[in-house]
Structure 1
Amino acid sequence: MTDDELLDAVGPAFSKLRRTSLLEVENPISAKDLSRTLVLNVVLEHPGEEVTVGGVADLLGVDPSVASRMVSDNIKAGYLVRAASQQDGRRTVLHLSPEGRELMARFRRHQRAAYEFITADWSERDRLDFARLMLKYVDSLATLSTRRAPDPR
């Protein structure tokens, strides 16, 4: 495969990766809980910040009504609790409940087991290199808003 072919294959690989579920490996997490972790991750990834339903919508790139349903589902499942904002008593913020923290701990263990299961026939060096590069890629996503896209002309 040429360098250009390799780079052209990245986009389709990401699409396929997104369609491939972690449900397919050992000790699966339910599809419902897997969906719930999207919201729980948003709250976990912003420690010390007041995460609202609107913030969840923005960070997940979904309509506020969709975010509201997702948050309500997590509250009904016992994974999230609503609390009054310490900065503005009129706002409601979200916190993980002890059950939500346990689900996320179980999910993290599942993610690690899935990574190890999927890459079982890789060398340890390849596993670690891929993990390092994936984290670097994700960190680069955070800086996209400060970078300008190249001029297509």
Structure 2
Amino acid sequence: MPTTQDMSTALESGLLDDLQHQVAVFARRAEQTRLGGVGRLRNSMDRAAYLLLSRLDSKGPMGVKALAAGMGIDSSTVTRQVAPLVETGLVKRTSHPEDGRAVVLQLSPRGKTRLDEVRASRRELMALLTEDWQEDERETFCRLLTRFNSALSERMAATAQQPEAPRAPAS
């Protein structure tokens, strides 16, 4: 006869299966739509650009290494992702005021305008998707999603610090 612990574990296992499935569906749908907003700005800015511009907007000008560290990604990835933003005038590269050899990335006025437009479009999409939700449901969802994203970030950071496990030789 199953114990209370066994039944609890089985229920939790089912819930965790449902959770991982819903996260997978969310990731696929978010990537398909890029949660890009509504109207003419729908799908108008990819996730990497949006996150880079948002970081520069909230934290101010910074170097590639600081930007990469703050976003939890590699400097070479930031360099590659920021190049088209510089080419299109959304980000400016300037010399560091104290060390002329260092490069500082800064959101340009054009970048700020574009980011504000995309944010407004995405905000409108969030309002549409949750229009039948109560305010406390939106707050709870946002709080839990933030907590989930923080746990993912912490897990990624901890995993990155662990040495790779040795691989078994091919047979």
Question: Any conservation in 2 of the 1:50–1:94 contact (CA below 8 Å)?
Answer: yes
Alpha-carbon deviation of 1:122?
Answer: 2.4
> 1:100-115, aligned counterparts within 5 Å?
100-115=111-126
Alpha-carbon deviation of 1:132?
Answer: 2.4
* Map of 2:23 onto structure 1: 14
Task: Give unpaired runs (5+ residues) of structure 2.
Answer: 1-10, 163-171
Task: Give unpaired runs (5+ residues) of structure 1.
Answer: none
110, 124, 134: which one aligns with 1:123: 134
Higher-Rg structure is 2
Give the distance between the partners of 1:87 and 1:68, measured in 2 at CA. 21
Give the distance between the partners of 1:134 and 1:28, measured in 2 at CA. 28
Q: Number of aligned pairs?
A: 144
Does residue 36 of structure 2 align to residue 42 of structure 1?
A: no
* Map of 2:8 onto structure 1: none
Q: Residue type matched to 1:50 in 2?
A: M
| Two-structure CA RMSD over aligned residues (Å) | 3.2
Question: Any conservation in 1 of the 2:63–2:102 contact (CA below 8 Å)?
Answer: no
Alpha-carbon deviation of 1:45?
Answer: 4.4
* Map of 1:88 onto structure 2: 99
Give the distance between the partners of 1:103 and 1:71, measured in 2 at CA. 15
Note closer, same or farther for the CA distance 1:51–1:5 as it changes in structure 2 (3 Å cut): farther
Deviates more, 1:38-47 or 1:138-147: 138-147
* Residue deviations 1:79-106 (CA, integer Å, cap 9, x gap): 0000111242211110000111112212
* Map of 2:88 onto structure 1: 77
* Map of 1:68 onto structure 2: 79
